[in-house]
Amino acid sequence: MSRMAIRYTPEDCARLLEAVRTRQPLIQCLTNAVVTNFTANVLLAVGAAPAMVDIPGEAAEFAPVASGVLVNLGTPAASQRTAMLEAAGAARAAGTPWVLDPVAVGALSVRTAAAQELAGMGPAIIRGNASEILALAGSGAGGRGVDATDSPAAAAGAARQLAGDTGAAVAVSGARDLVFGPGGLRTCLGIDNGDVLLTRVTGGGCALGAVMAAFSAVTSDAVLAAAAATGTYTVAAERAARLASGPGSFAPAFLDELASVTPADIAASLRLAALDPDGLEQAPQPEAAR
């Protein structure tokens, strides 16, 4: 039987940003080679501390020490896959929240098998674009490389299934970001902030997974962590886009805005809505802003 959905507000998300800034969580990142530097800088800007500990042996040692863990399958070399499994297992045993980002799953067999195994190891949040979520749930073949070919609304059913099967909150990135609650929760949140320039910077989506890990470190509510991280990230993107002339100037402006955006800014600017999870696939979607 479905349980009553919990109500979330922009003020809840603002308070979580304040908690991240106050507690400065230490986030272990096992992420892809393309985005390592950007991801570390994003974590520093939002108020967290990055630790790129991703080799076998050390990964398992560090996960219980970390406040949160990111596992990102962007460039899954054999040694890193081993380290990811070690880190996920150690994090689960220690009660350290961790985030799975199943980059480009579906068409590519090695990362798809790794993502399926990791999804069963207790992530707090699974974050991906719509095509990745469909593929991980067994309902699609993946997108075009790392790019989605499906809309978040089209992935709603797969996201609900994945949340139910894994117990994770499932965050689907797109023009309207969606966050689905785990288990029997009927929670579905829509976030309508952001800017298309965020898709023109390498690591824009991957670094969001790290921010979700940081927000997961300061709350036991994975849905709130995913929504607050996405809200902070996309409000900062909107602010940066107003200052930028293109992707080259957007990237440093985005880091600056992540560092300067305040909880009051989030409370005032975040466009957060509770949605009917059963009606998403038929509902009209907003114009693509990202």
Q: Provide the 10 A C-beta neighbour count for residue 222.
A: 26
DSSP class of 185 = B
Residue 109 annotated as binding site? no
Would you say 179 and 225 are in contact if contact means Cβ atoms under 8 Å apart? no
Residue 173 annotated as binding site? yes
**Distance between CA atoms of 162 and 156, rounded to whole angstroms?**
10
- Apex CA 111: angle with CA 108 and CA 114, to 5°? 140
Phi-psi region of 81 (alpha: psi -120 to 50; beta: other; left: phi over 0): alpha
Residue 1 annotated as binding site? no
Would you say 103 and 60 are in contact if contact means Cβ atoms under 8 Å apart? no
Q: Is the C-alpha dihedral spanning 95, 10, 163, 212 positive or negative?
A: negative
Which residue type sits at 11?
A: E
Strands (E), 174-249: 177-180, 188-191
* CA distance between the termini of the chain: 36
Please tell me whether residue 95 adopts helix, strand or coil conformation: coil
**Distance between CA atoms of 47 and 26, rounded to whole angstroms?**
10
Residue 84 annotated as binding site? no
Could you list the residues known to form a binding site, using ranges. 52, 127, 173, 203
Could you list the residues known to form a binding site for substrate, using ranges. 52, 203
Could you list the residues known to form a binding site for ATP, using ranges. 127, 173
